[in-house]
Amino acid sequence: MTTTESRTALVTGASSGIGEKLAAEFAADGYDVALTARRRDRLEAHADRLEAEYGVETHVVTADLAEPDAPAELLAELRDRDVQVDALVNNAGFSTYGPFAGSDRATAQDMIQVNLASLTDLTHRVLDGMVERGHGEILNTASMAGMAPTPNTAVYAATKSYVLSFSEALAHELEDDGVTVTALCPGPVDTELIAKEGMADSDIDNSDLNDPESVARAGYQGLKDGDRVVVPSRRMQALAQLKRVLPRKRVVSLAANQYEQYG
Ligand SMILES: NC(=O)c1ccc[n+]([C@@H]2O[C@H](COP(=O)([O-])OP(=O)(O)OC[C@H]3O[C@@H](n4cnc5c(N)ncnc54)[C@H](OP(=O)(O)O)[C@@H]3O)[C@@H](O)[C@H]2O)c1
């Protein structure tokens, strides 16, 4: 039951990687957490750890965010449990590597649904309540890939551009409503996403990979500081600056080379 003192953060993609660590950041700060993803066993184990370590209340709801009805069903389930979403962390996402031509159509559609359509729908569905209460926090996991068109991960980069653009626009719209919106833009992070994408088999230099815990901590801190965009590493901050000033064609080549290095 939500009390006036308790706050609940709903974290999508909380079964591994950055989302798992983001949920821990919220719990460490005293938030109750609602964890969602597809893998129930992972979510339940994580919920048990957070309850034991931080004494917070946890809620586990499985959802496949590639399904268009999933955001409505997820929020209906939380409402049935009297859980109010005070902070929304839209973190679930996945990517693929390779040319768009010849790629699997269903996978591309799922990526668009998970990475941006469900994110938008969840935001839409919780936002009115946040505005009415005069308080709310939204943290969206975008990516450095969202800062430039990126060959060989064209759909993924475009979904992350959307997340970044959407987040910054909403942050501006909501600045007098007590609702903050932060976009977290990591570079490469050592998570299952890298392994699934096939990057783990490349000659990636492990020193380039950020650890998910420090990325989550930077995102959480940025949210609390009211930052609109958080780029966790200095190297990526420099790259982000470069992408702002170079001619667009150079930016695309740079993104292609950078991604080839990882892909
Ligand atoms: N790793 C990087 O280099 C990197 C860099 C920049 C941004 N990001 C972004 O960070 C976010 C988290 O990724 P990660 O790196 O932490 O990778 P990860 O460990 O693979 O985590 C992805 C999370 O998203 C969930 N997810 C994927 N498809 C889903 C679906 N159809 N429905 C519901 N949940 C789904 C996964 O849970 P289930 O499989 O249990 O459903 C998992 O919890 C993503 O948005 C990603 O784009 C990652």
The protein residue with its alpha carbon nearest to ligand 1, atom 25, reads 13
pLDDT on residue 76: 98
Catalytic residue positions, numbered: 156
Q: How far is the CA of 33 from the centre of ligand 1 (A)?
A: 18
Where does the pLDDT of residue 173 fall: very low under 50, low under 70, confident under 90, or very high at 90 and above? very high
The protein residue with its alpha carbon nearest to ligand 1, atom 41, reads 38
Where does the pLDDT of residue 257 fall: very low under 50, low under 70, confident under 90, or very high at 90 and above? confident
Mean pLDDT of 55-83: 98
Predicted confidence (pLDDT) at residue 193 exceeds the cutoff of 90: no
Predicted confidence (pLDDT) at residue 204 exceeds the cutoff of 50: no
Instruction: Using most ligand atoms within 8 A of CB, pick from 25, 38, 220 the residue to mutate for ligand 1.
Output: 38
pLDDT on residue 197: 64
Question: Mean pLDDT in the chain?
Answer: 93
Predicted confidence (pLDDT) at residue 4 exceeds the cutoff of 60: no
pLDDT on residue 206: 55
Q: How far is the CA of 7 from the centre of ligand 1 (A)?
A: 24
Predicted confidence (pLDDT) at residue 1 exceeds the cutoff of 50: no
Write out the two tokens for 148. Answer: 């430039």
Considering only residues 109 and 206, tell me which one the structure prediction assigns the higher pLDDT.
109
What residue type is 105 in one-letter code?
R
> Quick one: which H or E segment has residue 181?
strand 179-184
pLDDT tens-digit readout, 91-135: 999 999 999 999 999 999 999 999 999 999 999 999 999 999 999
pLDDT on residue 202: 43
- Contacts of residue 63, Cβ cutoff 8 Å, sequence gap at least 6: 12, 36, 37, 38, 70, 71, 73, 74
pLDDT on residue 186: 96
Mean pLDDT of 177-185: 98
**Cβ atoms < 10 Å from Cβ of 261:** 14
The protein residue with its alpha carbon nearest to ligand 1, atom 36, reads 13
What residue ranges do the domains of the chain occupy? Answer: 8-262
Question: Can you point out the beta strands (E) in 142-245?
Answer: 179-184, 229-230
pLDDT on residue 185: 97
pLDDT on residue 194: 77
Predicted confidence (pLDDT) at residue 231 exceeds the cutoff of 70: yes
When mean pLDDT is compared across 41-55, 148-162, 247-261, the lowest value belongs to 247-261
Q: Which atom of ligand 1 is nearest to the CA of 12?
A: 34
Q: Which atom of ligand 1 is nearest to the CA of 94?
A: 47
Instruction: Using most ligand atoms within 8 A of CB, pick from 88, 139, 191 the residue to mutate for ligand 1.
Output: 191
pLDDT on residue 198: 56
Q: How many Å apart are CA 59 and CA 44, to the nearest integer?
A: 9
State phi, psi for 153 to the nearest 5 degrees.
-150, 45
Mean pLDDT of 69-81: 98
Mean pLDDT of 2-16: 86
Predicted confidence (pLDDT) at residue 220 exceeds the cutoff of 50: yes
Q: How many Å apart are CA 163 and CA 88, to the nearest integer?
A: 14
- Please provide the CATH number assigned to the domain covering 8-262: 3.40.50.720
Write out the two tokens for 119. Answer: 């994110």
Residues with CB under 6 A from ligand 1: 13-19, 37-39, 42, 63-66, 91-95, 114, 141, 143, 186, 188-189, 191-194, 212
User: Taking phi first (over 0 means left), then psi (-120 to 50 degrees means alpha), and beta for anything else, what does residue 94 get?
Assistant: beta
The protein residue with its alpha carbon nearest to ligand 1, atom 39, reads 38
